[in-house]
Amino acid sequence: MEIPQLIMLPGPTNVHPRVYAAMCKPMIDHRSKEFRVLYMRLLESVKKVFQTENDVFILTSSGTGGVECAASNLLLPGEKIILPVAGNFGERFAESFSNYGIKVIRINIEPGKSPKLEQIEAAIRNNPDAKAVAIIYNETSTGTTVRDLSKICKMAKDLGMITIVDAISILGGDDLPVDEWEVDFCIAASQKCLAAPPGLALVSVSRDAWKLIERAKPRSDYFDLIKYRKYRDEQKETPFTPAINLFYALDEAINIVLEYGFDKWIERHKITSKAYYSAIFAMGLPFLAEEWCRSNTVIAVKMPNGIPAKLLRELLAEKYRVVVAGGFGGLRNSIFRIGNMGLINPRDILTTLSSIESAFFELGYPIKSGIEAAIPILKNLD
Amino acid sequence: MEIPQLIMLPGPTNVHPRVYAAMCKPMIDHRSKEFRVLYMRLLESVKKVFQTENDVFILTSSGTGGVECAASNLLLPGEKIILPVAGNFGERFAESFSNYGIKVIRINIEPGKSPKLEQIEAAIRNNPDAKAVAIIYNETSTGTTVRDLSKICKMAKDLGMITIVDAISILGGDDLPVDEWEVDFCIAASQKCLAAPPGLALVSVSRDAWKLIERAKPRSDYFDLIKYRKYRDEQKETPFTPAINLFYALDEAINIVLEYGFDKWIERHKITSKAYYSAIFAMGLPFLAEEWCRSNTVIAVKMPNGIPAKLLRELLAEKYRVVVAGGFGGLRNSIFRIGNMGLINPRDILTTLSSIESAFFELGYPIKSGIEAAIPILKNLD
């Protein structure tokens, strides 16, 4: 029966009815007082979730647009950056920079692992002329998080390099105090742990990042941050027509987060991810990520016994109406990924876990139940 | 009293409640059967409004993103294009191309006029090595339309150049049979005559345009059309997370257009623009555009007696709740612009006209009424 699906993806997520209601507010002029009030308020809210006093901007694009914004504004063709690649999004990250003629010093990381301070340090030592270290904080394709991020940012800062952090699939789901950790350029998106609809990228820009941007005209017009800053400062507007309804939606989505409390929101993701890991461990299913770098926001689970992930996912989506993701590239059929993002709550987690158990039973591969392992962890969640 | 405003802008427009309802459909996975069905259906709908069998794509960006898509895919740095500049959007158009190192051969056109076949012909004669002619079909800042467009496209095709047509503020509001006129690369946006919310750009790509694109890797990753084509062909998906809710909204907005009949939809814009021009002429207010190149979709009116447009616009927006646009740059306070786009109907047109009359009266500059001139023209509208 085609009831609405429960979206347990690493983005997009389930969206609160309040957010949909805000998205349908009457249309306004994007060159009006009404828009200026919305835009200025939203920029302040975005600063709160980045935990920064730096400039922030909202781009009408997917998260990848935010990445392109970094690549086209910060660096000049021929300049070097250090960039660990731990999965599919790392690959894309590297491609975005090299497309603009930037020389990418890759550090290849095995799937399931995450780059460590020592690896970045070695790369910096071999490339002291690099301008930046670019890190995918949470590799969505493998469910791993860079646990050394604060140390990496500190080291880069000490050595005169900026850090570019893709936090798309983690901002709001784990610690990321942009100012405290001195992240120079941070990228996030609307449809992940903030639980707004997809279509907006968020970026934060430090003073050191501005210094690089101001050296030359940005290569892209659409993602030109100098223009974004000028329009904000002179008119409190965006240079190009923004996705007004998505601005309203993001505004309300962040309101929900801030009403709950941003620290508690992050803490919630930590608790619920623990519930997932404990339950799935109890089911006897192995994880792709090594324990020390497991993500709070993306749980990547290896399929047992050679069963294709596609079979599990289709059964879950069609009969149980629970949507989880598959793997990328070579991992397409060998893992499935659960998003632990946004409006996460005990009911939906238990639904997801029990549906997975039921689906494995239907696929002729009964597994142990993990529900009992999840229950005590979820007990203290409000 | 802050009742919702009537949005009579050159985009965004008033949005039908059916479109808002579609925008709030339950979230889906953008890598799912549900999304693939939506995307494939929407591409077919978009082909209908472009009147083309060419490839079409939907980008999560404003219309300017569609322009950047052209600049970053079609031409290589150092290549030449011929580009008339008749206003603010022409300036931006030129900037988008020159940002990518493309040599722009400008044809400067006075505000209120529109480029003619002979001018393009002369530029081509002087620059036979140019790869493309880039035309803003409807210059939103001045309310002018290129009446020679079909002839310009034919001439360019005969001389082996492609045409890049920015039809953002006109597609759906005037004739533009992309295949019949042999437009190679056409750009439109969601929030204009199709009356969907802002946030999506639409592009059509001819076989000759593909030949140019395939010569080299596109410069932008986010707007990489080779990637868009590959994902469409192999997966029926977009390469990056699309603004799913806006896809639903655009789908429903185009349904409304097609149910009404696309030819009739265009015809409606012609009739209602005639009502505006006749009424405003009767009011004794002069137009910025010369009569031969007046736009159906943007009515640019000169302010009489040195009254700043800002005063009129604020009074209209705040008291009458009718929103019209001002001018750009040097024209900011000397003109106002009415959008004649999308869900246009006699009631809203009469509301706009009578509110303008009332506002001028309040500003101490009573004008003659134009309502009587509009009524007979609106009579035959269904």
Q: Residue A80: which pLDDT band, with cuts at 50, 70 and 90? A: very high
What mean pLDDT value characterizes chain A? Answer: 97
CB contact under 8 A, B31 and A189: no
- Tell which of B9, B88, B220, B332 to mutate to test the A interface (max A CBs under 10 Å): B220
Res B2: pLDDT? 84
Section A279-304 average pLDDT: 98
Q: Check CB contact of B28 with chain A, cutoff 8 Å.
A: yes
**Which residues lie closer than 8 Å to B204 by C-beta, 6 or more apart?**
B46, B47, B50, B52, B54, B55, B56, B178, B183, B185, B186
CB contact under 8 A, B241 and A64: yes
Helix/strand/coil for A99: helix
Q: Looking at the DSSP assignment, which residues form a beta bridge with residue A200?
A: A60
Q: Check CB contact of A62 with chain B, cutoff 8 Å.
A: yes
Query: Quick check: do A6-12+261-378 and A17-259 share a fold?
Result: no
> Is A86 within 8 Å of A142 (Cβ atoms)?
yes
Res A183: pLDDT? 98
Res A186: pLDDT? 98
Q: Which of residues 86-105 of B touch A (CB under 8 A)?
A: 92, 95-96, 99-100
User: How many residues appear in chain B?
Assistant: 382
Residue A1 has pLDDT above 80, yes or no: no
Res A308: pLDDT? 98
Chain segment A343-369, per-residue pLDDT in tens: 999 999 999 999 999 999 999 999 999
Res B380: pLDDT? 83
Res B382: pLDDT? 83
> Which residue ranges of chain B lie beneath pLDDT 50?
none
Share of chain A above pLDDT 90, in %: 97
Give the domain ranges of chain A: 6-12+261-378, 17-259
Section A244-260 average pLDDT: 98
Q: Check CB contact of B189 with chain A, cutoff 8 Å.
A: yes
Tokens of A73: 């504004």
CB contact under 8 A, B198 and A243: yes
Res A226: pLDDT? 97
Q: Is the ipTM of this complex over 0.95?
A: yes
Question: Which candidate from A27, A220, A323 shows the least CB-CB separation from B29?
Answer: A323
d(CA B91, CA A187): 30
DSSP string covering A134-173, please?
EEESEETTTTEE-TTHHHHHHHHHHTT-EEEEE-TTTBTT
Domain B6-11+260-378 top-level CATH class: alpha beta
- Tell which of B60, B191, B230, B321 to mutate to test the A interface (max A CBs under 10 Å): B60
The radius of gyration computed from the CA coordinates of chain B, to the nearest angstrom, equals 21
Q: Check CB contact of A7 with chain B, cutoff 8 Å.
A: yes
Q: Looking at the DSSP assignment, which residues form a beta bridge with residue B186?
A: B165, B204
CATH, range A6-12+261-378: 3.90.1150.10
Domain A17-259 top-level CATH class: alpha beta
DSSP string covering B151-208, please?
HHHHHHHHTT-EEEEE-TTTBTTB---TTTTT-SEEEEETTSTT-PPSSEEEEEE-HH
Burial-class residue A351 by CB neighbours within 10 Å (0-12, 13-18, 19+).
middle
Residue A139 has pLDDT above 90, yes or no: yes
Res B218: pLDDT? 82
Give the CB-side neighbour count of residue B22, counting CA atoms within 13 A: 20
d(CA B165, CA B163): 6
B241 → chain A, closest CA residue = A62
Section A288-296 average pLDDT: 98
